[in-house]
Structure 1
Amino acid sequence: MKHKIFYFVLLLSLFSFQSINAQKKGFYENVQKKNINKLLDDFNLFAAQADYDKYFACFAEESTFIGTDATEVWNKKEFMAWAKPFFESKKTWNFTSLKRNIYFSADGNYAWFDEVLDTQMKICRGSGVLEKIKGQWKVKQYVLSMTIPNDVTNEVIKVKAPIEEVLIQTLKAK
């Protein structure tokens, strides 16, 4: 009988520890999601306010921005140089997240996200990878893409095909 009580107490303790650990993990993820949501909302706000320094402070030093044009793949320094005239003239972009999903690596040091954005180009999608660096989340990679409703895909292809065919042939030749 003592063995049964011992095993029951042991089993109950294990379940309690698992429950506490699950609650801690859930709490941690909620806090981290809140921090990431703030970073990404601020990221969009800083662009809308043409705050060059604060916007680029959201990026990790080694990071990549991928724009909507197939040729737009920049490291942080290249993107800063490209964007500087827009920020200086206060003609930047204004994106608002309508829906965002956030996921974490098992070790909690990386997160990735996808979001639907309200922009001057209508609906766009932002996605990217974040890294926790010295306790702060930073954008490692950001990808901006325009969405195309399925009903108008053929019309869009007709417009972009002659423009992109040259790039396709150039890339195939490499």
Structure 2
Amino acid sequence: MKSIYTLLGICIFVFGCQDHQNKHAEENNSDELIFVVDMSVNGKSKAEVATFTEYYTAQVEKNEPSSMGWGFFESGEKVILIERYKNADAMINHATNVSAGGILEEAFAQFNSFFTIDMISIHGNISDELKETLSNFPFPVAYNEAYANYSRMISNVSTSPMTIDLVSLESEANTFIDNQFNFFYESSLETAQNTFSFDAVLIGTDAAEYYSGWEAMKTSIEGQLSIENPMFTHSNRNVIISSSGDMASYTQLLNFSFEVDGESMSVENVRNSGVIQKINGQWKIVQIHWSIGVQGQAVSY
């Protein structure tokens, strides 16, 4: 009987430790800063705003590990941006990143083409260094010091590895690749915009068709939507999915038939390759390439 109680005690201890490991560790962070940015939209459509804000949010998340949260929110005809930083140093780092020579300089220039900042309301304990940094930007700022506050920093201390179902994700990727030309069938620029990431690269069959970013490729795609009765069929597809499950590359051959001014046309054995990425839960084209092979050798070797 004594051995049974001993075994039971060991089991309780072991499972109790495992349960403790799977809980989240909490740490109070009274230095958190919250920025509430009130912005007007500079003549962009809702679809354009949605695509760009998705891109910009991903850039901040990727490059600024000390940013605790970031979100664009629709507010009538305006947009509210809420930024959360671990502390003043994290925000100063962001200011450096969006300044000349910073890793987000180009993205921030695009940001300013989309939005006009009407007011930045900062909540938290603001250092003099941060105030000096922000004085270099031409935006109206209101400072709101904290009386009392807390902010929970939660980190998962579980040692259990995350399981990634690569088979299901590869199936998802294939479905997206099957449907990536739906914007042709729908003759929809909005569907096309939702298909590409904001910073996607498109390389076409014509010498001039090398576009970097949605704004650069938009006019070309809009012109292509004038074709009628498009039809795509594919063969020889090969898909390689990343170990993280959020990116895939593919190659395939395409046959493309369509009509222009009532005349039927077709192009066969178009070599199509691309890279797609799952961004905020949705697959997007981040790079796509079309080419048509020439007979014989273009370059002798």
TM-score for the superposition, normalised by structure 1? 0.64
Following superposition, the deviation at residue 53 of structure 1 comes to: 1.5
> What is residue 8 of structure 1 aligned with on the other side?
none
Distance 2:219 2:232 in 1: 21
Q: State how 1:65-104 maps to structure 2 within 5 Å.
A: 65-75=202-212, 76-87=214-225, 89-91=226-228, 93-104=230-241
User: Are 2:254 and 2:271, in contact at CA under 8 Å, matched by a contact in 1?
Assistant: yes
Asked whether 1:109 is paired with 2:246, we answer yes
Following superposition, the deviation at residue 71 of structure 1 comes to: 2.7
Aligned with 1:134 (options 280, 283, 286)? 280
Distance 1:71 1:131 in 2: 25
Distance 1:40 1:153 in 2: 30
Identity among equivalent positions (%) equals 24
Which has the larger displacement, 29-38 or 48-57? 48-57
Task: Tell me which protein shows more strand as a share of its residues.
Answer: 2
Distance 1:99 1:107 in 2: 25
Deviation sequence 1:78-115 (CA, Å, 0-9, x none): 2111121332x344853222231111223222211111
> What is residue 153 of structure 1 aligned with on the other side?
296
**Structure possessing the higher radius of gyration over alpha carbons:** 2
User: Are 1:44 and 1:94, in contact at CA under 8 Å, matched by a contact in 2?
Assistant: no
Aligned with 1:34 (options 168, 171, 192)? 171
Aligned residue pairs: how many?
A: 128
Deviation sequence 1:30-56 (CA, Å, 0-9, x none): 211221122111112332332222123
Aligned with 1:57 (options 194, 200, 203)? 194
Task: Output the amino acid matched with 1:84.
Answer: E
| Structural RMSD (CA) | 2.4
Distance 1:93 1:78 in 2: 23
Distance 2:254 2:187 in 1: 18
> What is residue 124 of structure 1 aligned with on the other side?
270
User: Are 2:170 and 2:241, in contact at CA under 8 Å, matched by a contact in 1?
Assistant: no
Q: Aligned with 2:272: secondary structure? A: strand
Following superposition, the deviation at residue 136 of structure 1 comes to: 1.5
Distance 2:253 2:235 in 1: 6
Distance 1:94 1:53 in 2: 19
TM-score for the superposition, normalised by structure 2? 0.39
Residue 92 to residue 138, structure 1, CA distance change in 2 (3 Å): farther
User: Are 1:68 and 1:146, in contact at CA under 8 Å, matched by a contact in 2?
Assistant: yes
Q: Aligned with 1:144: secondary structure? A: strand
Distance 2:185 2:236 in 1: 18
Identify unmatched segments of 5+ residues in structure 1. Answer: 1-20, 158-174
Task: Output the amino acid matched with 1:123.
Answer: N
User: Are 1:127 and 1:143, in contact at CA under 8 Å, matched by a contact in 2?
Assistant: yes
Following superposition, the deviation at residue 63 of structure 1 comes to: 0.5
Identify unmatched segments of 5+ residues in structure 2. Answer: 1-160, 257-265
